[in-house]
Amino acid sequence: MTIEARFDFLPSLSAGRGIGLAAALALAGCATAPAVSPQSATAAAPTVPPAMQWLYGSGESAASSLQAYSAFRDHVLAAARARPAQSVVLAPGSTLEAPRFLACGDKPLAVILDVDETAIQNLGYEYDEAYRARSYDEGIWNRWEQTGANAVAPVPGAVDALSAVREAGVTVIFNSNRLTANAAQTQAALEAAGLGPARPGETLWLKGDIAPGSAKDPRRAAVATRFCVIAMAGDQLGDFSDLFNAEDLAVPRRRQAAASTPFAEMWGNGWFMLSNPVYGPSLQGDFDDVFPVDRRWSDQGGN
Amino acid sequence: MTIEARFDFLPSLSAGRGIGLAAALALAGCATAPAVSPQSATAAAPTVPPAMQWLYGSGESAASSLQAYSAFRDHVLAAARARPAQSVVLAPGSTLEAPRFLACGDKPLAVILDVDETAIQNLGYEYDEAYRARSYDEGIWNRWEQTGANAVAPVPGAVDALSAVREAGVTVIFNSNRLTANAAQTQAALEAAGLGPARPGETLWLKGDIAPGSAKDPRRAAVATRFCVIAMAGDQLGDFSDLFNAEDLAVPRRRQAAASTPFAEMWGNGWFMLSNPVYGPSLQGDFDDVFPVDRRWSDQGGN
């Protein structure tokens, strides 16, 4: 990393065309590793995966989240003055082809935010996972929820934005798939990061609340019965609608749906996306899913 | 990938807590791969690196760039009406500690954009690099510049935003580290993607123009002698100021500088960042660079 890191800073490569060595290793590793084995993986010196270098270490990702929270704050303050007729929460019966938004009536105003990699960065957990060259483990994540409250940091921009939103009289509600059993510790993590208050069952909704499972629509619907939701923020499409998590939704169609009318107009205008290339449903797809067949190219120079 | 992709869609994992299999492989691969060897790498079936799955395949990244370009468009249209006194280009002699912005006077208005992974996605090149499990190669990239014009796509949101900006009478200028020798082909790539016009030496500035090397400040300064620059967009900090590419700037300090006053206020307010976890100076840093020592955690459950 050190040599490549230095080269990345040199003018001759500072164009951003130099791929990180970690990325190159990951590329080679992806193609050669026969299977995931924490035992064998931890035998060699671990490196920081490139996506973690970007999300947790780069000024670029800090800029990206500051930009997202600046737009979030401006939108919420303007909407609080304008009192929109429509919520940004989809109504029951909506489909990706025919979505409909709930009406606001004269309900008090609220915003809904995801927690992990939207409001807080799980630095302690991701460090442990990367340092042990281990993949996601549900049991370890559960222990992280229980004991990691002091090893998180707020996503850049979140503290100031939530403070301004609350000053405008808008209620901040968190909708997370952390476990209800760990509600107190998740509340502690949010408040330690300066993002509170977060009160379980009031302004903090977790996995298992309202309905079983990770679907967030039932919790959004419950919040929408009491509030006019003027903005939502998340790092995964499921933080906005479970329609994007349909099992039969192919990767290219999922991207196309998010980038098409009417959803295209929502981004930065009621729906706010935080970039997270480290984990989640956004990380999937084979070559045919990710690279359109009419945009292929093959280098001829080396042959 | 298929199994994991399906699991990622299941409610039980749709929280975004499930790390993609490709990410897990990358993690294991990073820790086990002894070196990068296209020959050995291509011997096994390649997979799409997780950062490419996110950037080119996910609805999340499409949402992120649509959001960035929505803010870019709104800012430019408002600034075009307000005619700001200050440019968003730093003045000569600025430092990270004491930056100063150029005055606009009554110059005509312009915006400056980077090209690669800011205006266009280099789908053909990245496909070839990933499919051959190869890292960045300058010679191959040069051939890509020369022959890849029809294998690119616009970054989601860029076409509509640049169209609106031009309709408001604001000149769109590209500042890229592609080679001057390939100016005609880069112009063709931008125009094939629907982002033109781009005229070499007028609205398209490339590596070697004005001054040798990849530093973009000399080109920004040249543009600023004729235009009042009201917005800039890029995917690397060097697309805004070469100060962020100082060789002696440590990774944590680089992030802290981008996220601190006065630069923190620029993101979404004159400076617009497109998220790119696939390549560039943003991808660097060891564990101590990326993970603050006071935010470490170690799972005790397994011991």
Contact indicator for B280, A5 with CB cutoff of 8 Å? no
Residue type, B24: A
ipTM (interface pTM): 0.87
Residue type, B152: V
The whole-angstrom separation of Cα A4 and Cα A13 is 10
pLDDT of residue B18: 36
B303 touches chain A (CB under 8 A): no
pLDDT of residue B245: 97
Contact indicator for B51, B67 with CB cutoff of 8 Å? no
DSSP for B113-136 reads E--BTTTEE-HHHHHHHHHTT---
pLDDT of residue B287: 98
pLDDT of residue A76: 98
With cut-offs at 50, 70 and 90, classify the pLDDT of residue B301.
confident
B286-298 average pLDDT score: 97
pLDDT of residue B302: 59
Residues of B in contact with A287 (CB under 8 A): 46, 48, 127, 130-131
pLDDT of residue A128: 97
For chain A, list residues with pLDDT below 50: 1-42, 303
Q: What is the mean pLDDT of chain B?
A: 88
The whole-angstrom separation of Cα B240 and Cα B258 is 10
Residues of A in contact with B117 (CB under 8 A): 16
**Quick one: which of A193, A186, A129 has its CA closest to A160?**
A193
Residues 147-176 of B with CB under 8 A from A: 147-148, 151-153, 156, 176
B40-53 average pLDDT score: 81
B212-226 average pLDDT score: 96
Contacts of B41 (CB under 8 A, 6+ apart): A27, A28, A31, A32, B132, B133, B134
B151-179 average pLDDT score: 98
pLDDT in tens, B134-147: 999 999 999 999 99
Residue of A7, A13, A17, A179 for testing the chain B interface, max B β-carbons within 10 Å: A17
Residue of A186, A283, A303 for testing the chain B interface, max B β-carbons within 10 Å: A283
pLDDT of residue B15: 33
Q: Is the pLDDT of residue B170 over 80?
A: yes
pLDDT of residue A44: 72
The whole-angstrom separation of Cα B17 and Cα A238 is 12
The whole-angstrom separation of Cα B28 and Cα B268 is 37
| Cβ within 8 Å, pair B280-A130 | no
| Cβ within 8 Å, pair A60-B275 | yes
Q: Is the pLDDT of residue B282 over 90?
A: yes
Q: Which residue of chain B comes nearest to A280, CA vs CA?
A: B16
Nearest to B57 among A18, A37, A289 (CB): A289
| Cβ within 8 Å, pair A298-B15 | no
Query: A106 to chain B, minimum CA–CA distance in Å?
Result: 28
**Quick one: which of A149, A251, A146, A266 has its CA closest to B6?**
A251
| Cβ within 8 Å, pair A32-B36 | no
B264 touches chain A (CB under 8 A): yes
